[in-house]
Amino acid sequence: MKKHGKTPVVPKSIELIELHRKKCNAVWDTIIPLFFAFIVGSIFSLICKCSPIKLYSFILKKAFMSYGGILNTLGYATPIIMTGIATAFSIKAGIWNMGIEGQVFAGAFVSALAGYMIKGLPSFLHVTICLLIGAVVGALYALIPGILKAKLRINEVVTTVMLNSIATTVTGFLTQSYFGTGDAYAHTEFILETARLAKISSRYRSTTALFIAVVIWAILFFVLKKTKFGYEVSCIGKQLEFSDAVGMHVAKKIIIIFIIGGAIAGIAGTTEILGANYNFVNTFSANPGIGWDGFFACILAGSNPIGIMIYSIVFGALRYGALAAQTGLGVPLDLINVIKSALVLFMAIKLVSTHGDSIKEFFRKLVTKKGDKEEKEAKA
Amino acid sequence: MTLSFILSLLNMTVENSVPYLLITVGGVFVARAGVFNISMEGCTELAAFAGILFAFRTGNIWVGVIDAILFAVAINCIFYIFTVKLNGNLSVVGTGINLFAVCVPASLLQIMYGSRSNLIATKIIDPLKMMIDIPILRKIPLLNEVFNKQTFITYLTILIVWGLIIVMYKTKFGIAVRVTGENPNAAKSVGINTDRIKFYCLMISALTCALAGINLSVEQLGMYTIGMSANRGFICLSAINCGRKEPGKACIYALIFGFVRALQTIINNFVPVAISSLLGILPYASIIIVLLIVEMPVAKRNHLRFFKGAN
């Protein structure tokens, strides 16, 4: 599936051709899963008695075609950018940290408490303290699977998933009992005005959290690409034993990676509370949760920071578009998740770059067989 | 009082262990064949949904059962094609399938019945009638309390676990599975088709996951709620890890986890309502503690410094 761009490339050596081919393969690897995923989505939207073209154009129109739409999309994308880049750190190191969702819950809950319990501070200080508390709590919560993984080599997938369930249960319990307000639906008290993040435009979801997210994204991008630590992280992901043998202190690095992931996840949860929700409700990150969305964005982008940014915005658009489509077209919210899951599945196999040659071979054989048959028939 | 308490606890343990045991014993085969399968969760969830949905639509339980098995097999076929045949990353494909299994029931329920959270089919399925009264057990005093009046799949589970342990250790297929996981190249060199072995293992896992799903939704409750499998796939994964991928040991851990869940349900009756929701963490916390206890003694051997440990 070699495909040249519009500008003619003068190949200087075989390596250049290889490089070009790899780039083209990478492009095809992102386009083909999109195609398949939208086919799967179309099938399900037909089951839901809604024309797929109408659905897709509705989501596009709502999410990108107006000033408010873009602001809402960015508002939904903000936490996903943070959780995505948080996941990227661990995935780069070959650690399947699926506990971002739980860390988001832990950070969000405690900072929601700090939002109304700490009183009499100027706005800037209050917001900073809330963010710090969220980060610390998230990091502490991530420390549990981190230590278990680094010291005892317990599989992190199981522990992080379990800790997610524990986080949602415990925060739900606390909002119902000790920190609840006694209303019909369980929620904590609203946070004070001083703790709230300023909105970019009062009617839409996007807040100054967007800038926080972009700054965090940029810092981690820099750390991953340009520093020694980032290099060591990717080394650990590629060859764990070797990295340890050359003296990279893998156990320590794994704990640091977990802490960074947890801290950023905590901040993501906090901004969601301070910017959008203003109080903690147990369903504030449902369907499938901002931690999971970040996880999927990271996987789809192959833990490439720029890709994470793009996919986060796409997921934000899907999230907002799905909400709009539910009220506008009567399409269930979960239909979008079907598309997402199909996207993840098809993205996992990297059809072109790993199977391009064999597929080509298959088609060539098919064609030659047909040709042979025709020849034989012609002879007969 | 205390005796009846213990007996009811054991009774609940048997009831709650069934899905754990089924998923674990099927998952052991997959794990032994060298596939890290986290999609058991999604497989169970989808089977539970399909069982209830088709039983509700057609009014016939057996249609639901067959469809649940078909769905589970289809899901594991997808897993097989994407990971073994097309070399996709196991964890990525697994999470993709898990997401798929949560959102498909939700969207279908919302389209068909207007509520995305649950589907109650007690009109067709009466959970009380699902319990089988065995005349022989009825006459034995203690066993009657614990083992009698369980569902059909409970008794089937005992057979399945026993049968699959024999398959693992006493048959040619079992040897092939173990070799495939331990050394794929050696397996290939003696003429074992490793891909096919992995496929058979995934099919076994699909069957057991489907039975677990049916047990959860159709037999025990007669209804389906979103997130019904409640991380049972992951719990069983840790049971398999704790048991070092040996079916007998893994099943013992599955029983422990079943016991903890039973304990949670029993304690629920004695504590105030406010705290009972906190008890929900008991199954999950117990797993982390069990993992900790199991891994602590071998921590030194498992330590990251491979080079020191080798000498």
Q: Which of residues 176-195 of A touch B (CB under 8 A)?
A: 176-177
| Among the partner residues B96, B281, B306, nearest to A170 by beta-carbon distance | B281
Would the pLDDT of A360 be above 50? yes
Q: What is the pLDDT of residues B169-204, one digit of tens each?
A: 999 999 999 999 888 899 899 888 999 999 999 999
Reported as a pLDDT band with limits 50, 70 and 90, residue A7 is low
| Class at the top of the CATH hierarchy for domain B2-310 | mainly alpha
Q: Count of residues for chain B? A: 311
Alpha-carbon gap: B130 to the closest alpha carbon of chain A (Å): 31
Helix/strand/coil for A281 = strand
Mean pLDDT (whole number) for A31-42: 88
Please check whether residue A279 is in contact with residue A112, taking contact to mean a CB–CB distance below 8 angstroms: yes
Crossing angle of the two packed helices A67-92 and A250-271, in degrees rounded to 10: 160
Residue A184 shares a structural domain with residue A299: yes
Residue A265 shares a structural domain with residue A319: yes
Q: Which residue, B281, B251, B242, B236, is CA-closest to B263?
A: B281
Would the pLDDT of B92 be above 70? yes
Residue A16 shares a structural domain with residue A139: no
Residue A371, in any domain of the structure: no
pTM above 0.80, yes or no: yes
Contacts of B275 in chain A (CB under 8 A): 173, 177
- Contact criterion met (CB < 8 Å) for A153 and B274: no
Alpha-carbon gap: B30 to the closest alpha carbon of chain A (Å): 17
Residue A111 shares a structural domain with residue A17: no
What is the model's pLDDT at position A131? Answer: 93
Alpha-carbon gap: B200 to the closest alpha carbon of chain A (Å): 22
Give the span between the Cα atoms of A17 and A12, in whole angstroms: 8
Burial of B23: CB neighbours in 10 Å, binned 0-12, 13-18, 19+: buried
**Residue A125 touches chain B, beta carbons under 8 Å:** no
Residue A361, in any domain of the structure: no
Residue A71 shares a structural domain with residue A43: no
Residue A40 shares a structural domain with residue A70: no
- Contact criterion met (CB < 8 Å) for B99 and A337: yes
Residue A140 shares a structural domain with residue A242: yes
Residue A323, in any domain of the structure: yes
In chain B, where the domains are located: 2-310
Residue A255 shares a structural domain with residue A319: yes
Kindly report the average pLDDT of chain A as a whole number: 85
What is the model's pLDDT at position A139? Answer: 94
- Contact criterion met (CB < 8 Å) for A337 and B102: yes
Number of domains chain A contains: 2
SS (H, E, C) chain B: CHHHHHHHHHHHHHHHHHHHHHHHHHHHHHHHCCCCCCCHHHHHHHHHHHHHHHHHHHCCHHHHHHHHHHHHHHHHHHHHHHHHHCCCCHHHHHHHHHHHHHHHHHHHHHHHHCCCCEEECCCCCCHHHHEECCHHHHHCHHHHHHHCCEEHHHHHHHHHHHHHHHHHHHCHHHHHHHHHHHCHHHHHHCCCCHHHHHHHHHHHHHHHHHHHHHHHHHHHHCEEECCCCCCHHHHHHHHHHHCCCCHHHHHHHHHHHHHHHHHHHHHHCCCCHHHHCHHHHHHHHHHHHHHHHHHCCCCCCCCCCHHHHHC
Domain membership of residue A181 as a residue range: 66-344
**Residue B273 touches chain A, beta carbons under 8 Å:** no
What is the model's pLDDT at position B309? Answer: 41
Spatial neighbors of A132 by CB under 8 A, at least 6 apart, are none
**Residue A213 touches chain B, beta carbons under 8 Å:** no
Question: Peptide bond preceding B19: is omega within 30 degrees of 0, i.e. cis?
Answer: no
Residue A203 shares a structural domain with residue A78: yes
* CATH code, A187: 1.10.3470
**Residue B268 touches chain A, beta carbons under 8 Å:** no
Alpha helices in A246-289 (DSSP H): 250-271
Residue A3 shares a structural domain with residue A86: no
Contacts of A292 in chain B (CB under 8 A): 99
ipTM of the complex: 0.85
Would the pLDDT of B308 be above 50? no
User: Which pair of structure tokens corresponds to residue A360?
Assistant: 């080509």
Give the span between the Cα atoms of B200 and A120, in whole angstroms: 66
